[in-house]
Structures are given as structure tokens and as C-alpha cells.
Amino acid sequence: MINIGIVGGAGYTAGELIRLMNYHPKVNIVSVVSHSHTGSFIYLVHQDLLGEQIGHQKFSSEIDKNIDVAFLCSGHGQSRKELIRIPEHIRVIDLSQDFRMKDRSVFKNRIFFYGMPELQKKLIEKSDNIANPGCFATSIILSILPIAKKKLLRTDIHISAITGSTGSGRKMINTNHFSWRNNNVSVYKIFQHQHIKEIKQTIDQLQDDFSSEIYFIPYRGNFSRGIISSIYTYSNLSLEENKMIYKKYYKNHPFVHISDENVDIKQIVNTNKCILYIAKEKDQLIVISILDNLIKGASGQALQNMNIMFNIEETCGLKLKSVRF
């Protein structure tokens, strides 16, 4: 059994991680740390865990030192503070943005590697420290990986994407309130979203001659979970040629699927899937991407990375079906 600890246990991503790990056949949840809820039963925060054995475990004040891997879910800017208290022999999967960029990927003797299995699975297999990708970044990068690998990105990339309210975390800010979100949609961080750096870094890794712009407009949606992204960029290949490139690239990646029909968010809620729909209009390649921001965009991908790190079947604990209706 793999003994795990979770730090920042009261947030949405931690709640999803606990739920997924609770049914993972090769995992034992040893400690769940929450500095704000120490001593409280886990189910009092994550009420869907009422009746589950893990739900009646209590939040601890610090992580058990005998675990094999720690998941850091404390939020952006907190992971370096938490790592001071984690012995170096414990592997770490960080779900914040603190170590995703190469120029910020080192902490003392730890070197963090970008944990996108569809990009660099072999590197993850050999790594002890993983920086889990961002949710928007995952949706968008998976939309362009195959053509970047073929060095086919030649002009600007235009992106619009909308995410549910859980993408902002559990903190209660105005734009998370039901009365604000209900029957409402808004744009934020136009061309400035932090995940653009992740996207650019990944493209540079595969196609270092790419010098065009990435124009990303993110939206806040009036639903709780899921991301749908639409990407378009120039392509001189036919639709069928592009589809073949995508299908060949993702042939051995169990969580990315190419759909011949247009897609909608309900297809992926509660799953670790990313589904892509590919179209062509004139000389523009269009890719629509859908995924669950809390699973494939966060906790599910973190579990997928753990499976790879410990040489477990990649899909273990992640064979989930969407809630369609």
C-alpha cells in the first residue's frame, strides 16, 4: 500500500483527492492536514464523506512523517512554506502553481517536474517531485500538443475558455457567490491569465521556433464544475490530416479522446477524461476541449501522476463515468 498525506485538506481539490483516494485499491490515507480545521472530523467540511471511514477521521495539524507521498493542496504561494515541514525522503505532488515554471522549479534539494502525463510520462516515472498543471492549462495544452509536437504551430493562437465556480477555490469572494454567478457570465484576466505561461513553456519545449502570440480570454461560468475551451489557429492541413495527427498522438493515452461530434461539459463532469472535438473552417483549425477542472484539471491528474510515479496502472482509481443528467 502507498501511504499518503494531504496538506490543505479543507479545499475543493483536497476534497476531490480524498474522495478519489478513498476508493483507490492501493492507497492508504494516513493524514489530512488542515490548519484551520485541526481536530474536526473531515466529514464536517467535506459532507459527501459522511458515512465513509475517512470522513470520520480528524484533520491533523501536521503531516505524518512515515508517508510515501504528500499532496500539497494549500493554494498558490503556500507550498514552499509547507515543504519546510516535509522530510526530503517523502515524494511530493504539488497542486499549486508554485513550481510549474522551470525558473521556479527548485526548492532546496527538490527539483519539480511538470506533471502532464500526455507530455512527458517517462520523466514522471523517474521523478520524486511533481508540479501538477493548472486546469485551464491542461485543457488548452492537450488541445495543441499533437500539432506542437509536429512543429505545425505557425501563427497566433486564439483561445476562449469558460470554467465553473469551483475553479476559484473554496474561498468566499464576491464572484463565487450564488447570487452573483446565477444567470451570469463574465470575462476576467484578458490576455493576462497565469496559465498562459504554462502553455507557452510547453510549446517552447516542443517547438522552440514558435514566436507568435497566445491570446487567451477566460470566462467565469454560472455552473459549478467543468471547463470548455475553444482554440483556433492557422493550418494548411486538411481536417482529416489533423484528425489523424491527434488520434495517433493520443493512441496510448487512456484519458484523452477524440470525438467526431461536438461536445458539451456534461460528458466529462466527475471523470478524468479530456475530450477533444476537431473542426476546420477555411484555413483555421478549431479544437474544442472539455474536462472537469477538479479532476483532470487538478486532483485526478495528481492521482494519475502518483500512479505513474509508483509504477501502478495509470487508470487505477480513475475509471469514472460522467453524471450525464
The DSSP bridge pattern shows strands 274-281 and 284-291 to be antiparallel
Amino acid code (one letter) for 240: E
**Among residues 73, 135, 274, 316, which one is catalytic?**
135
- As a whole number, mean pLDDT of residues 140-161 equals 97
Range of lowest pLDDT (40-49, 174-183, 249-258, 298-307): 174-183
**Residue pLDDT, tens place only, 105-135:** 999 999 999 999 999 999 999 999 999 999 9
Residue 168: pLDDT band (50, 70, 90) is low
Picking from 52, 43, 60, 53, the residue whose alpha carbon sits closest to that of residue 5 is: 60
DSSP 43: G
Averaged confidence pLDDT in the chain = 94
pLDDT above 70 for 161: yes
Give 258-289 pLDDT, tens digit per residue.
999 999 999 999 999 999 999 999 999 999 99
User: Which pLDDT tens digit goes with each residue over 85-111?
Assistant: 999 999 999 999 999 999 999 999 999
Q: What is the mean pLDDT of residues 29-40?
A: 94
Q: Regarding the domain with residue range 135-293, which homologous superfamily does it belong to in the CATH classification?
A: Dihydrodipicolinate Reductase; domain 2 (3.30.360.10)
**Catalytic site includes residue 73:** no
Q: What is the mean pLDDT of residues 47-60?
A: 94
Neighbours of 77 (CB within 10 A): 10
Domain ranges of the chain: 2-132+296-309, 135-293
Q: How far apart are CA 166 and CA 178, in angstroms?
A: 12
Q: What is the spatial distance between Cα 49 and Cα 12, in angstroms, rounded to a whole number? A: 13
Average pLDDT over residues 180-187: 84
DSSP 190-248: TTT-THHHHHHHHHHHH-TT--S-EEEEEEE-SSSS-EEEEEEEE--S-HHHHHHHHHH
CATH class of the region 2-132+296-309: alpha beta
- C-alpha grid cell, residue 116: 502532464
Give CA–CA dist 296/255, Å, rounded: 9
Are the C-beta atoms of residues 107 and 86 closer than 8 Å to each other? no
